[in-house]
Structure 1
Amino acid sequence: MHDDSALYQAAELYFVQGMTMGAVAERFDVSRSTVSRMLAEAKERGIVTMTLRMPDNRSDRLSRRIHDLFGVTAHIAGTRRGARSAQRLEAVSRYAANLLTEWVTDGCIVGVAWGTTTSTVASHLRHKDVQDVTVVQLNGAAGPHSTGVGTSTPVLSTMARAFNAELYPFPTPAFFDLEQTRSLLWQESSVRRILAMRVAAQMAVFSVGAFRGPVLSQVYLEGHLSDAALRNLNENRVVGDMCTVFIREDGSYADIDLNRKASGPTPSELARIPRRMCVVAGYHKVRGILGALRSGAVTDLVIDDLTAGEVIDHLENGGRPHSGARA
């Protein structure tokens, strides 16, 4: 047994001054094993206490900030400084694919909105041996110049294969010419079956489409909207879409005329699904991301660190967080 004074001196030399155990042993004229026992004894008596602190990196801070503002879980994919939009998209898509592989379990119903981002997510999925999984298409894809098969089928089929899932496609237009046509079609038994699957989904995977920028939503690239419709959306301060439903930066959407002709679920309908993964990347989507977060449609945001920082910067430079959905 050593007295507290000797234990303190040995601990101070070793832990504070950084002396080696051999040097401390020479100072006390004892063996190194004796010094080791002295240090252990100093810990037992409370002379030495240890504190561990997790490193606080930028991604952690951004994730906490987004959660504090919007109540969602932010999964931050790291990128290198100055990464281009395509590189950001790759980073978040890989991250999202890994999360999906973890989250999808036996009996899960997964709703998927087709698009550039979800297609990239699907390309990174690994096969998982699960049973009785269902993949259901959330929004129609047919347009004035195509059937939509080439747009929606690849992403949905790839996801279905990854999870041995049964696929339920949604063979309707992305946008109807007439609201009445949509209302009538929604009464057909074959369509009601898909709508029921949407309601029963435990998970939804979607992104936020953007009008402008280096990686545009397929909604805008494939001729689904006329020039007049695009002008109308601009006049209505629309900043993007989720599942072909258009949103403003404040999260509102219900009074946008074109949404009554859209095939996808509204933010309030999405909000009934327990887990809603929104996968986004790119500075051009910042305002759309804020609209999605404010609409209440997102539980899990998969985003790269650069875009997450740009979302926070936009808020601090004039945008204001809004809690709860605004229809």
Structure 2
Amino acid sequence: MPNDIDGERSDKTREALRAAHLYYLQDLTMDAIAQEMHTSRSSISRLLGFARSTGLVDIQIRAPHHGSSSLEDAIQKRFQIAVHIVPVPDHASNVDRLERVCMSAARMLDRYFDSNMVIGLAWGSTLTSISRHLVPKELHNVQFVQLNGAGNNQTTGIVYASEMLRRFGDAYSGTSQQFPVPAFFDDPRTKEALWRERSTRRVLDMQARMDVALFGLGSPFADVPSHVYIGGYLEPEDFRMLDEAKVVGDCATVFYRADGSYRDIHLNDRASGPDLDQLRRTPRRICVVSGVSKVASLRGALAAGLVTDLVIDEGSARALLDSVTLDSVTGDMVTEPAQMVKP
């Protein structure tokens, strides 16, 4: 039976390659290809979709430098980062906006991921969505490492995080290293003790050797609050502390303010995510953001220097520029306070 399945898959791959060659390299229409291959137009459409989803066809849009949008130029110059803006209509729902941004991000990752890399992944709704749209790429000696624990007093978080890691590992022929610790420890001394254990040190050492980090951003101001704020990870007292500390967001469950500061936020002493100074030493740091309500969190991440590459929807990109004003004397970024949303 396995041989029959493998044979069917091989036949489909050959047909998809032929259809892709005729469509992309010979400029034949789908109707013409269907006639040549003695099948229907809908079958050709499915074959071309299969070719794209399995990586047989790699479609890239190469805009000339002078053709980049003024919005991209403005963000690149203002923040000194690479930007990819995803066109999404203003009337799109939050769910549709997230899916479109994550699909675009997933299909760009092959330009960042290569063999012999250690790649860090921060769990969350954004990376979970990205993992559903990955385009396979055959690599070797690629290691994916979870950046922060996912457990709380209701769940270990292992199933949630492992499914995301598995999809990345399968798509890029890589191995996956889970980080089976709580998202937040009850006592910072427990974290300090566990961080000295050899099994934990092995994961932390992998994180310290990352070539690429891929993450979304958490935000307590989001229209649909990020998972860490509504998933049972934070107690009422934690929210009070975050309010008092003027926190605007988190990266891999490490919290920061609008100016990028984070060291004296006490909840970070209990957090399992990487120290932000360590994260900044990672050569490439890809941040994926969807929704205007994440802009305050994004501003803080940019102020902290956490981002080298940004994938963002068009409306949020405009809001980012609109929300940033420069003090006429100092040139410092001025931000308006926001009210934290609690579950």
Q: Please, what TM-score do these two structures have when normalized by structure 2?
A: 0.75
> Structure 1 CA distance, aligned partners of 2:65 and 2:93?
27
Match of 1:238 in 2: 247
Match of 1:252 in 2: 261
* Percent identical residues: 39
Match of 2:206 in 1: 197
1:118-137 deviations in Å (ceiling 9; x for gaps): 10111110111111111000
- Paired amino acid for 1:121: I
Matched, 1:310 2:322: no
> Structure 1 CA distance, aligned partners of 2:197 and 2:285?
27
> Structure 1 CA distance, aligned partners of 2:315 and 2:224?
16
- Paired amino acid for 1:233: L
Matched, 1:97 2:106: yes
- Paired amino acid for 2:333: P
Alignment of 1:116-195 (within 5 A): 116-195=125-204
> Structure 2 CA distance, aligned partners of 1:252 and 1:146?
30
Pair 1:54–1:204, CA change in 2 (3 A): closer
Matching residue within 119, 130, 144 for 1:110: 119
Matching residue within 257, 261, 273 for 2:282: 273
1:14-34 deviations in Å (ceiling 9; x for gaps): xxxxxxxxxxxxxxxxxxxxx
> Structure 1 CA distance, aligned partners of 2:80 and 2:286?
14
Q: Secondary structure at the match of 1:229?
A: helix
Q: Please, what TM-score do these two structures have when normalized by structure 1?
A: 0.78
> Structure 2 CA distance, aligned partners of 1:279 and 1:69?
18
Quote how far apart the aligned CAs of 1:197 are: 0.4
> Structure 1 CA distance, aligned partners of 2:194 and 2:143?
23
- Paired amino acid for 2:84: H
Quote how far apart the aligned CAs of 1:68 are: 1.5
Alignment RMSD: 2.0
Matched, 1:299 2:311: no
Matched, 1:220 2:232: no
Matched, 1:286 2:295: yes
1:127-154 deviations in Å (ceiling 9; x for gaps): 1111111100000011111111132111
Quote how far apart the aligned CAs of 1:199 are: 0.8
Pair 1:267–1:115, CA change in 2 (3 A): same
The gaps in structure 1 that reach 5 residues or longer are 1-52, 323-327
Structure 1 segments of 4+ aligned residues over 6 angstroms from their partners: 53-57
Are the equivalent residues in 2 in contact too, given 1:110–1:135 (CA < 8 A)? Answer: yes
Matched, 1:87 2:96: yes
Q: Select the structure of larger CA radius of gyration.
A: 1
Quote how far apart the aligned CAs of 1:301 are: 0.8
> Structure 2 CA distance, aligned partners of 1:267 and 1:61?
31
Match of 1:10 in 2: none
1:89-119 deviations in Å (ceiling 9; x for gaps): 1122112111212321111111000000010
Matching residue within 67, 71, 89 for 1:62: 71
Quote how far apart the aligned CAs of 1:216 are: 2.3
Matched, 1:321 2:333: yes
> Structure 1 CA distance, aligned partners of 2:87 and 2:66?
14
> Structure 2 CA distance, aligned partners of 1:187 and 1:166?
24
